[in-house]
Amino acid sequence: MTKKNPWFLFFWIMLFIVIFMIFNTIKQRPQDLELEYSQFKQCIRSGSISKVLVGPEFIRGYFKDGNGILKKFRTIPMSDPNLVRDMEDNKVLEFSATTKNDWIGPLLLNWGPIILILLFWFWMLRGMSGGNKRAISFGKAKAKLAGKNSVVRKITFKDVAGCGEAKEELKEIIEFLKNPSKFKKLGGKIPKGVLLFGSPGTGKTLLAKAVAGEAAVPFFSSSGSEFVEMFVGVGASRVRDLFEQGRKSAPCLLFIDEIDAVGRHRFAGIGGGHDEREQTLNQLLVEMDGFETKEGVILIAATNRPDVLDPALLRPGRFDRQVVVTSPDLKDREEILNVHSRKVKLGRDINLNVIARRTPGFVGADLANLVNEAALLAARNNQEAVNMKNMEEAIDRVIAGPQRKSRLMSDKERQIIAYHEAGHALVAKFMPTADPVHKVSIIPRGIALGYTLQLPEEDKYLSSKAELSDNLAIYIGGRVAEELVFSEITTGARDDISKATNIAMKMVTEFGMSDKIGPISLKGPEEEVFLGRDISRDVRHSGKISELVDEEVKNIIDIAKSRASKILKENMNILNRVVGYLLERENLSGEDIDKIIKREELVSLSENTLNNNNNKNNIVEKKVIDDQVLEGENV
């Protein structure tokens, strides 16, 4: 804790006093009317003087002007022995004398600015004398050392579910630090750097915290943005200081989160400018594997964008290990849900395996948010535990956003939305490779006016041409249903058209799924998104090929539209029934859609409510009977 400088406090106190006195003097000066001594004597004789204070250097008091207004006056005294007698004769009510001189005011007015300038200059000199120390601390690294009792060190690999391969790689690093002789006796060298990369929310930072909890060595954590400053050379100085701290504490771990802030590709600006970020990166490269090699200092970095990192940073000898933190599969999602629901009171109907199956594509951050949303919903409803209904609602909130039942829509708009979503669902039901329909809703969520939720039965890592073609038909199915029923189109299919166009474009330019173009990649490289590198690159295909690409994309979407239109025309009665139930219930499950397709009638909401009430009554009656039986037995 730094001590306060007493001169600094004294300076501000003096400044306040000077400013106060100056303003007080300025405030008083216009109110004091300057009178000549002869005028002062005339006022005494005329009886307009009411109060007088006589001092060695001034005479002050109050008098009434010609309008009878009481005003303050001020005059310079003269040698007048008859002054007291004149005031008594003319009945001045109050008069007195003082021997004190008003020296503070004149002193501050005359010498105050000079004193103020001297104090300010003295303070500036003291600040400049300590400037070197502040400049040195400005170039110090802002890395935080995780102590044994810190929150970071309390996280271990038990708190990280999934990521099995990544944890094995990091466990080996920890073993290197704890028992280096085990590897050195066989000629192995300790890795210098580990790069964790993957999609946002997959748990890269959590893995680094777990490493800190598992390792019995010092752990320094920082962010890539902490090295980049507006002052030239500060970033490089902080990198040097970070590794210097690591060398003093070796063996140790250094963690830099979001390293792409300083590790981006060099010479990527126009003209290949050498800016502050590049100097920081150059220093990082030297520290990791230069002439001054630091043994026992391991750098762990995390990023979402490994494609923009400089190749010199990724070569062996710097980042020896590059660990991919992938999105969790079904088993990993169940383990992650188990971890995040440890402190949540779950109901008996909760099945985490079912929830994991219904959340494909969710990463660790999404699953953590899912469990938290379910807990908040249960607390909002004053429940004692989180049930499966809360989990289902939380899944919908994470995917599409919260419900917006307060949004008022006309009957015509609700009908259009119902046909739109029913078109998606019905086309999906009749597509052989489509994922099963889980839920259809016309309740607005987030920015969507309705949604159709499809969930795969298992995790997929590849998509066939048939599957992509079926998905295109499903995306177009909503627009086709509107067009068939209302003979007009709306803006509701904007997002569907955008997704369908992107898939068709990738099929032609990336996946080689076009018969006319063939297995040719027409997509330009996206490793660097810098204008300096990309501005001089030529287009990889001719204008004729571009026209052919546009034709193929349009042809693929037209075929998908024809397939969707054929399905909906042949099943118009089913489409109308689905819409009728949607307008009544607002939500339909995949099982409900199957019953409608099989020409089965769904239980109406009123009957369903009546049955639920009867069931509750039966339960209550059974409980009453049981209680009576127990009472009889007790008797």
Query: Which of the residues are catalytic?
Result: 421
Count other C-beta atoms under 10 Å from residue 585's C-beta: 17
Measured between alpha carbons, how far apart are the two ends of the chain, in Å?
76
> For residue 565, which of 474, 496, 469, 492 has the smallest C-alpha distance?
474
Cis peptide before 328 (omega within 30 of 0): no
How far apart are the C-alpha atoms of 284 and 228, rounded to whole Å?
12
Distance CA 2, CA 140 (A): 18
Measured on CA atoms in the order 431, 434, 439, 445, is the torsion positive or negative? negative
What is the rounded CA–CA span in Å between residue 444 and residue 587?
A: 11
Contact criterion met (CB below 8 Å) for 340 and 367: yes
SS3 145: strand
Query: How many other C-beta atoms lie within 10 A of the C-beta of residue 72?
Result: 13
Which residue, among 454, 397, 392, 446, has the nearest Cα to 421 in the 3D structure?
454
Torsion over CA: 344, 348, 353, 358 (sign): negative
R_g over Cα of the chain: 41
| Cβ contact 564:427 at 8 Å | yes
The backbone torsions φ and ψ at residue 37, rounded to the nearest 5 degrees and listed phi first, read: -65, -35
For residues 257 and 304, is the Cβ–Cβ distance under 8 A? no
8-state DSSP, 230: S
Question: What is the C-alpha separation between 311 and 28, in angstroms, rounded?
Answer: 75
Query: Per 3-state DSSP, what percentage of the chain is helix, strand, and coil (rounded to 5)?
Result: 55, 10, 35
DSSP, res 346: B
DSSP class of 199: S
Question: Residue 427: which of 367, 500, 354 has the closest Cα?
Answer: 500
Interacting residues of 557 by C-beta distance below 8 A, sequence separation 6+? 472, 476, 500, 501, 504
Question: Rounded distance, CA 614 to CA 632, Å?
Answer: 27
Which residue from 177, 169, 186, 286 is spatially nearest to 237, judged by alpha carbons? 286
| Residues 242 and 288 sit within 8 Å (Cβ to Cβ) | no
484: which residues sit within 8 A by CB, 6+ positions away?
565, 568, 569, 572
CA 245 to mean position of chain CA atoms: 30
DSSP label at residue 3: P
Residue carrying structure tokens 């058209």: 497
**One-letter amino acid identity for 336?**
I
**The two three-digit tokens of residue 151, written as one number:** 């929150």
